Structure 1
Amino acid sequence: MHEPAKYNCPFCRILSDESESSIELIFESKFSVGFLGLRGNEKSGPTVLIASKKHYENIYSLPPEVVADSFVLAQNVAVALKEEFQVDGTTIWQHNEPAGDQDVWHFHLHVKGRLEGDSLYKETAYELTSEERQFIRARLKNYQ
């Protein structure tokens, strides 16, 4: 286990409505939820995070049915990003443990809309405004 003692998981707070943020669930399946990430990139499409409903620190302890459910939901999100935002492609990634760049100790996938030549791995993320988040959420809520 890498999560600190008495870890106050931000994803568990979101799922239990204890979060003070304006995060809204956009997608939901049997074992997973999808919500808009807090950061965006100027040159590429939105990012949706897919998190397990139940708290699992990382992929190693995830039951197979949750793995399958999370990736099916990620596929649906990728299609929604492609159709609603006309992205040229998508990237799906997931981090495990500190050496794997994990910094939130709750299993989740990132589904990122990509544009040709977006230089995703070179650009700097910025905090999305409330208006940007509302616009993206409204567009993606049509997909479930």
Structure 2
Amino acid sequence: MVAYDNNNIFAKILRGELPCVKVYENDHVLAFLDIMPRSPGHTLVIPKAAARNIFDILPEDYAHVIRAAQKIAIATKQAFNADGMTVAQYSETAGGQVVFHLHMHVMPRFEGTALLPAASIKEDPKVLEANAAKLIAALKALG
């Protein structure tokens, strides 16, 4: 098994070395908007535990990620008036993983609208901030 790289981009975000547009955080996870979203409100949920992917995360740490992803999905559906949701986790290069710190994608879906290609368009920071405000408000309304 390949060792976890403490210098991956998400580890740097967790340490505060790189910025993110945070929408949710607790003792176990951090959720922030993808800067190259495939749909408006596309959020990444990552564990604070050092885990490369599904093959090396402890089950209890993965459970925290799943619970947070569900919470984000419910709030995102409300905040963006989405018709549905795609929640995805990719492991290893062959599985589509690009950043080797476990993460779940929570992507709102709209009837008749395809997802943008992965890593195709960097979103305007003002749009990300506006989307974050909508999502944070929906999360607060959920309690």
Specify the alignment match of 1:135 in structure 2: 130
Distance 1:61 1:3, change over 3 A: closer
Offset, 1:45: 3.1
Per the alignment, residue 26 of structure 2 pairs with: 29
Which runs of structure 1 show a deviation greater than 6 angstroms over 4 or more consecutive aligned residues? none
* Counterpart amino acid of residue 34 in structure 1: A
CA distance in 2, matches of 1:70, 1:116: 27
Residues 86 and 71 from structure 1, CA distance in 2 versus in 1: closer, same or farther, beyond 3 angstroms?
same
Kept in 2, the 8 Å contact 1:29–1:73? The answer is no
Q: CA deviation at 1:139?
A: 1.1
For structure 1, which runs of at least 5 residues remain unmatched after alignment? Answer: none
Partner residue in 2 for 1:108: 103
Task: Give the alignment's TM-score, normalised by structure 1.
Answer: 0.86
Matched residues, number: 137
What is the TM-score when the length of structure 2 is the normalising length? Answer: 0.87
Partners of 2:81 and 2:69 in 1: how far apart? 17
2:11 pairs with 1:12: yes
Structure 1 position 9, deviation (Å): 0.9
State the Cα RMSD in Å: 1.8
- In terms of fraction of residues, the more strand-rich structure is 1
Report matched runs for 1:1-144 at 5 Å. Answer: 1-2=1-2, 8-19=7-18, 22-41=19-38, 44-120=39-115, 123-124=116-117, 125-142=120-137, 143=139
- For 1:103 and 1:3, locate their aligned partners in 2 and report how far apart those are by CA, in whole Å: 15
Q: Alpha-carbon deviation of 1:3?
A: 6.3
